[in-house]
Amino acid sequence: MLQIDYEACTGCKICERVCPFGAIIVEPETKKARVLDNCTLCGACVNACNFNALSIERKAVSEEELALYKDVFVWSEWEKKGDTLQIKNVALELIAKGRELADKLGETIAVILLGKNVDHLVDELFHHGADKVFLCQHDLLENYSTDGYTTVISSIIAVEKPSIVLYGATPNGRDLAPRIAARLALGLTADCTGLDINSVNQLVQTRPAFGGNIMASIISPYTRPQMSTVRPNVFAKLQPDTTRTGIVEEVEVTLKPISIRTKIVEEIVSQDESTNIEDAEILVSAGRGIGSKESLSLISDMAEELDATVSGSRALVDLGWIPHPQQVGQSGKTVAPTLYFALGISGAIQHLVGMSSSDTIVSINNDPDAPIFKVTDFGIVGDIFEIIPEFIKLLKARENK
């Protein structure tokens, strides 16, 4: 229930202006706010009110009520590739995982898709396993914004009552999900690496903590929906089935510019196609051990010979030697290439978290006790400056044969 504190309300009408659904008005006679029946409890007005006059009372729900929450929802993030929009891999991965969870619960899986002119992306979502798509299109959704996206998704959740909502743990996903969780007073588990359903149909969310030194399983027994963010490259996406279709439900969005408080001034793209480390098959990754910036050329020479992409540990990004989109690890990206070279990387746990699910890991380090060797499939204890030039020679010789 949306509660109005009539003493605090000044009749300033900001709630009226921010409500996406026209569900709150200020009565001309009383100069006080009034809630209409079409309120979705999205919370946009609560947030906007400068006088703390609005609040939403959210009580822990009883078991009978919990059972009313059904279906698995996934927020589908997209990215701009040149002029075209493309669904992010993590969204497709989540549809696959969500599909599995929905099947276990005997429920369906729906995708929430926000944007401007994004309807052409819907088919791909069905091909990858979605049963239903909530399509929310609006000029103000053209770019991600915390306020706009939080409001739209909160109201869909409030109305549709799903049992589970999943988000990719991307910068935007991690910006958005907690905002929604706080608005709806829901539990949220960040950066999950495992999701499962237990015997009482609860979502069991497994995540690493303490930099990956321990794992924790987390449940939200008394609130619905149960929400998680999930790191990219943790789950596999399904093979697309181009014959699959589903239901498209267009959601009417009535956002107003005033309710989006952050503005994009500029976008600085420092990543081109070839350096997208999340999708790379082979990554050649360098760490502190390379010593000087000049040595980076050795790393890129090797990468070139292998048709691989260069990435690096946090130290190199901090120095500005490689741009942060190419950073692997806790504060960078999670990668899972088929082949990962760790060159002069000692393997602090923060780095291991970002790459240990690579299929094969090859490491060269002069410290035999470097933790990287614990996750290594093929390791060499030695000097990268001696070994890599020899290795490049061998690769070149092979090519010339």
Closest CA to 379 of 362, 367, 391: 362
Of residues 95 and 203, the one with the C-beta less far from other proteins: 203
Of residues 129 and 168, the one with the C-beta less far from other proteins: 168
Q: Sign of dihedral through CA atoms 215, 169, 303, 344?
A: negative
Of residues 247 and 381, the one with the C-beta less far from other proteins: 381
Q: How far is the CB of 323 from other proteins (least distance, A)?
A: 7
- Rounded CA-CA distance 114/327 in Å is 28
Q: Which two tokens stand for residue 183?
A: 């608005």
Q: How far is the CB of 379 from other proteins (least distance, A)?
A: 4
Q: How far is the CB of 30 from other proteins (least distance, A)?
A: 24
Q: How far is the CB of 128 from other proteins (least distance, A)?
A: 20
Phi-psi region of 294 (alpha: psi -120 to 50; beta: other; left: phi over 0): alpha
Largest CA-CA distance found in the chain, in angstroms, rounded? 89
- Rounded CA-CA distance 184/57 in Å is 9
Q: How far is the CB of 2 from other proteins (least distance, A)?
A: 14
Contact 249, 134 (CB under 8 A): yes
- State the DSSP code for 239: P
Q: How far is the first Cα of the chain from the last one, in angstroms, to the nearest whole number?
A: 75
Of residues 227 and 251, the one with the C-beta less far from other proteins: 227
Q: How far is the CB of 392 from other proteins (least distance, A)?
A: 8
Of residues 8 and 349, the one with the C-beta less far from other proteins: 349
Closest CA to 188 of 135, 156, 226, 235: 226
Q: How far is the CB of 28 from other proteins (least distance, A)?
A: 26
Strand 72-76, strand 164-168: pairing: parallel
CA angle 399, 278, 335 (to 5 degrees): 95
Of residues 85 and 349, the one with the C-beta less far from other proteins: 349
Of residues 116 and 293, the one with the C-beta less far from other proteins: 293
Phi-psi region of 191 (alpha: psi -120 to 50; beta: other; left: phi over 0): left
The residue behind tokens 């990962």 is 340
Q: Count CA within 13 A, CB hemisphere, residue 312.
A: 25
Of residues 122 and 322, the one with the C-beta less far from other proteins: 322
Q: How far is the CB of 21 from other proteins (least distance, A)?
A: 19
Q: How far is the CB of 76 from other proteins (least distance, A)?
A: 16
Of residues 68 and 247, the one with the C-beta less far from other proteins: 68
CA 376 to chain CA mean position, Å: 28
Closest CA to 259 of 75, 31, 25, 16: 16
Q: How far is the CB of 215 from other proteins (least distance, A)?
A: 5
Phi-psi region of 187 (alpha: psi -120 to 50; beta: other; left: phi over 0): beta
Contact 48, 86 (CB under 8 A): no
Of residues 113 and 348, the one with the C-beta less far from other proteins: 348
The residue behind tokens 């929905």 is 102
Q: Which two tokens stand for residue 344?
A: 């002069």
